Chains A and B, each alone.
Chain A
Amino acid sequence: MKVVLKDLRKTYEGGKVVAVDDVSLEIRDGEFFSFLGPSGCGKTTTLRLIAGFEYPDKGSIFIGDEEVTFKKPYERNTAMVFQNYALWPHMTVYENIAYGLKIRKVREEEQRKRIREVLELVKLTGLENRYPTQLSGGQQQRVALARALVVQPKVLLLDEPLSNLDAKVRIEVREEIKRIQRELKITTIYVTHDQEEAMSISDRIAVMNQGRIAQIGTPEELYFSPRELFVASFFGKPNILDGIYLGEGKAEIQGGVEMGITPAAGQKELERGDKLKIVIRPEHIYIRGRLLQIRSGSSAEGSS
């Protein structure tokens, strides 16, 4: 089911702090969509607005064709997975997963069937009677995922679900989330500050900065065609050099090196004398060998 945000704005402290600033976008049916950005960029607030844990000052939210802007969380047919798992410590795995079904008054027999299926999906069959404290972090997050999926939401929301896991388990659970999403074809909205995580798991990513969307695109688009310096510098660790535009597609960078450039997309046309920030990724600067000749335009000499 698609999710549409229109002109969303959310402020705190009487309007002094703008958490979400005029955000509009459409998340496609069955898409794995991530909000990515540094701490405080507004990504979690945007997710909480979609979930109904917070209401916007302005703008609207649609899930499918239904406006849900001010509906309560349980009226939206979404389910959320939190960073800290948020499992009931006094309930077993089975009881945690069953909780959402009980309050929806799903028949016992149907509950048992759905829980059996979802445990299989997240590969936790056999651990039904364990308590959360008897599980690893990765297993607890799988229970949280099972609890979210068992109510058969139209949209799955995940707020930094891997942040509390160690590096190895994080990759395992990340792959599991992606597999399950593909299997169920469920629209999934994922929040993370980890660019590698977002790049490896998402169909599209919205990069956020200071409450607004800097750019939306596929991982490849964001990596190879950033429209803002912020986006270019957020992915990987590129070389960022000062330069002056010389005209005719050439620039002089620090150290008097002249090179051919490509203006980033979406900018006004460059004029001779413009000050530039030039971004080159290390993997795009190739050392061809010991110096035999210096090519003009798109080459530079150097010492290793």
Chain B
Amino acid sequence: MRMFTGDSQEVKVAVGKDREVLIYASAPSDLPISIGEEVELEIPESRVLAFRA
């Protein structure tokens, strides 16, 4: 279950110094981005949950 609305869609993004980490993110459905393009991610701190490993 992923909570995407009609206004957003799931996309895969490479992050990290060498872009070696792949994560799934949410993008506005009408955002004109292409593969390989640099993007800005916003992650609310309250939604980044940390568990002791």
Rank and list the top 7 A-B pairs by shortest CB-CB distance, nearest first: A255-B16, A260-B45, A284-B47, A285-B25, A282-B24, A291-B38, A275-B53
**Chain A residue total in the interface (Cβ 8 A):** 61
> Which chain B residues in 19-53 approach chain A with CB under 8 Å?
19-21, 23-28, 31, 33-53
Q: Is the CB of B50 within 8 A of A299?
A: no
**What CA separation (Å) do A276 and B47 show in the bound complex?**
15
**What CA separation (Å) do A229 and B53 show in the bound complex?**
9
**What CA separation (Å) do A241 and B23 show in the bound complex?**
9
Kindly state whether residue A64 has any CB partner on chain B within 8 Å. Answer: no
Query: Per a CB cutoff under 8 Å, which of B16, B18, B23, B43 touches A298?
Result: B43
Nearest CB of A to B17, in Å: 5
Q: Is the CB of A264 within 8 A of B49?
A: yes
Write the chain A residue with the least CB distance to B26: A283
Name the A residues within 8 Å of B18 (CB-CB): 255
Contact with A along B1-14 (1 / 0, CB 8 A): 11110001011111
**What CA separation (Å) do A294 and B15 show in the bound complex?**
12
Name the B residues within 8 Å of A301 (CB-CB): 15, 38-41
**What CA separation (Å) do A236 and B11 show in the bound complex?**
15
Contact with B along A254-296 (1 / 0, CB 8 A): 1111011111100110100011111111111111111111110
**What CA separation (Å) do A117 and B2 show in the bound complex?**
39
Name the B residues within 8 Å of A243 (CB-CB): 50
Kindly state whether residue A171 has any CB partner on chain B within 8 Å. Answer: no
Q: Is the CB of B43 within 8 A of A290?
A: no
Nearest CB of A to B6, in Å: 13
| Residues in chain A within 8 A of chain B (CB atoms) | 195-196, 199, 226, 228-229, 232, 235-237, 239, 241-243, 245, 249, 251, 253-257, 259-264, 267-268, 270, 274-295, 297-304
Query: Contacts A241-B21, A254-B16, A304-B33 hold; do A287 and B49 have CB atoms under 8 A apart?
Result: no
Query: Contacts A195-B1, A282-B25, A287-B39 hold; do A302 and B15 have CB atoms under 8 A apart?
Result: yes
**What CA separation (Å) do A285 and B14 show in the bound complex?**
12
Query: Contacts A283-B26, A304-B27 hold; do A236 and B13 have CB atoms under 8 A apart?
Result: no
**What CA separation (Å) do A292 and B38 show in the bound complex?**
9
6 extra interchain contacts, Cβ-Cβ under 8 A, other than A228-B51, A275-B53, A278-B51? A256-B17, A257-B21, A286-B26, A299-B42, A300-B43, A301-B38
- Selected A-B contacts with CB under 8 Å, 24 pairs: A232-B49, A235-B1, A237-B24, A249-B45, A251-B50, A255-B20, A256-B17, A262-B45, A276-B52, A278-B49, A279-B49, A282-B4, A284-B43, A284-B44, A286-B27, A286-B43, A287-B11, A288-B40, A289-B39, A290-B40, A291-B38, A295-B40, A298-B45, A302-B39
Q: Is the CB of B44 within 8 A of A245?
A: no
**What CA separation (Å) do A172 and B37 show in the bound complex?**
43
Query: Per a CB cutoff under 8 Å, which of B25, B51, B52 touches A232?
Result: B51
**What CA separation (Å) do A292 and B40 show in the bound complex?**
7
Query: Per a CB cutoff under 8 Å, which of B14, B16, B41, B46 touches A287?
Result: B41
Q: Is the CB of A283 within 8 A of B43?
A: no
Query: Per a CB cutoff under 8 Å, which of A229, A255, A268, A285 touches B41?
Result: A285
Name the A residues within 8 Å of B11 (CB-CB): 287, 304
Nearest CB of B to A263, in Å: 5
Q: Is the CB of A281 within 8 A of B47?
A: yes
